[in-house]
Structure 1
Amino acid sequence: MKLLVTSLWFFSCELLYVEAEVDESGHFSALGPVNGDPNDRFYFMQWAYLEAISVPEAWGILDSIAERTPVTIAVIDDGIETTHPDLKGTVIKGYNVVDKNDDTSPRGPHGTGMAGIIGAIRNNKIGMAGILDSVRILPIFDGEVPSFPALEDAFTYLINGTKDH
């Protein structure tokens, strides 16, 4: 149970309680999600939050659209683990506004977690279910301890376009 609680804390610092059962094989099953929900390993930890903002309904609409153009979303944070299996193929080359280079490797887990909420691959039986599945994530590293000047540089970089870097 300690591992489960540790994993839950990583995804949400607002954890109030866990309601789960252990089946005969030793796997946890949360009391909440129903059949038809994503098969991602930790979906049971996020389903209530996603339900609260109608994400499953949005998935239904998006899944009915045959051809979609991926959107690019910038994540201004402490870096993103570009090799994370739940983000495979979604993270594009980013920018480090502190060192003025393209090293956006994570200095902490927050940026990768935020990128996962946005665009983790859904229905791959690992990790979590991202809100969008047709997305490119642009990591912008703004420092281990973000500052207003770094944030200003990040927005300036995004406004001026990524062509200059």
Structure 2
Amino acid sequence: MKLLVSSFWFFLCDLFYVEAEVGENGHFRGLGPVNGDPNDRLYYRQKDYLEAISIPEAWSILDSTPKRTPVTIAVIDDGIEAAHPDLKGTVIKGYNVVDKNDDTSPRGRHGTCMAGIVGAIRNNKIGMAGILDSVRILPIFDGEVLSYSAIEDAFTYLINKRRDDVKVILMTEVSGS
């Protein structure tokens, strides 16, 4: 049986689709981590969650895809530590909707963590393994507490600037107006 395969994340990001064979047990034939588990120090904390949504299988597909264009993901949160070693080279210039400037330095740790879940460098022997590789993280600082007005300002910025063909936008829950 043939199946058009895409992990949930890749479907949302509109990255690519690939045809793969599915065995009688419903598992993909011949797909699995190319070189076993990633060597990231904290991968053991993520493994069960990532396996539950077939991310290692998606990594195998990605790793066998020769040339891919990086995808831009906007992270609307409390800032991102662009110099974090697990995000090295992935964070691009963003926007601060509160101060109307490009200072997206973190005021907390949540935004950096969210950026890491999505795009931490895999197999670098530190930190965690990000779900995607070949990404650009676009930080949008929303203040220390996300509000509806911050969301509106963030989306207005992204639409008006048509920033980097953003495919996915991640944000924390809204708690104010």
**TM interval, short-chain normalised:** 0.7 to 0.9
CA shift digits 1:82-113 (9 cap, x unpaired): 00000000000000011000000000000000
| Secondary structure, aligned partner of 1:93 | coil
1:147 aligns with 2:154: no
CA shift digits 1:46-82 (9 cap, x unpaired): 0111011110010000000110100000000000000
Shift of residue 161, structure 1, vs aligned partner: 2.1
Q: Which structure 2 residues correspond to residues 133-144 of structure 1 after superposition, within 5 A?
A: 133-144=133-144
Dislocated runs of 4+, deviation >6 Å:
none
Q: Given the two structures, how large is their TM-score scaled by the length of structure 2?
A: 0.71
Shift of residue 160, structure 1, vs aligned partner: 1.7
> Which 5+ residue runs of structure 1 have no aligned equivalent?
1-34
**Which residue in 2 is equivalent to 1:25?**
none
Using the alignment, how far apart are the partners of 1:144 and 1:67 within structure 2?
A: 38
**Which residue in 2 is equivalent to 1:62?**
62
Counterpart amino acid of 1:63? D
**Which residue in 1 is equivalent to 2:74?**
74
Using the alignment, how far apart are the partners of 1:73 and 1:40 within structure 2?
A: 22
Counterpart amino acid of 1:100? K
Higher mean C-alpha deviation, range 35-44 or range 65-74: 35-44
1:102 aligns with 2:102: yes
Higher helix share: 1
Counterpart amino acid of 2:50? L
1:126 aligns with 2:119: no
Using the alignment, how far apart are the partners of 2:57 and 2:36 within structure 1?
A: 12
Using the alignment, how far apart are the partners of 1:73 and 1:121 within structure 2?
A: 15
CA shift digits 1:137-158 (9 cap, x unpaired): 0000000011110111001111
Shift of residue 162, structure 1, vs aligned partner: 4.9
Using the alignment, how far apart are the partners of 2:110 and 2:58 within structure 1?
A: 25
| Secondary structure, aligned partner of 2:102 | coil
- RMSD over aligned CA atoms reads 1.1
| Secondary structure, aligned partner of 1:124 | coil
Using the alignment, how far apart are the partners of 2:84 and 2:131 within structure 1?
A: 17
Using the alignment, how far apart are the partners of 2:138 and 2:88 within structure 1?
A: 13
1:53 aligns with 2:27: no
Q: Given the two structures, how large is their TM-score scaled by the length of structure 1?
A: 0.76
**Which residue in 2 is equivalent to 1:115?**
115
Shift of residue 159, structure 1, vs aligned partner: 1.5
Identity of aligned residues (%): 83
**Which residue in 1 is equivalent to 2:39?**
39
| Secondary structure, aligned partner of 2:139 | strand
> Which 5+ residue runs of structure 2 have no aligned equivalent?
1-34, 164-177
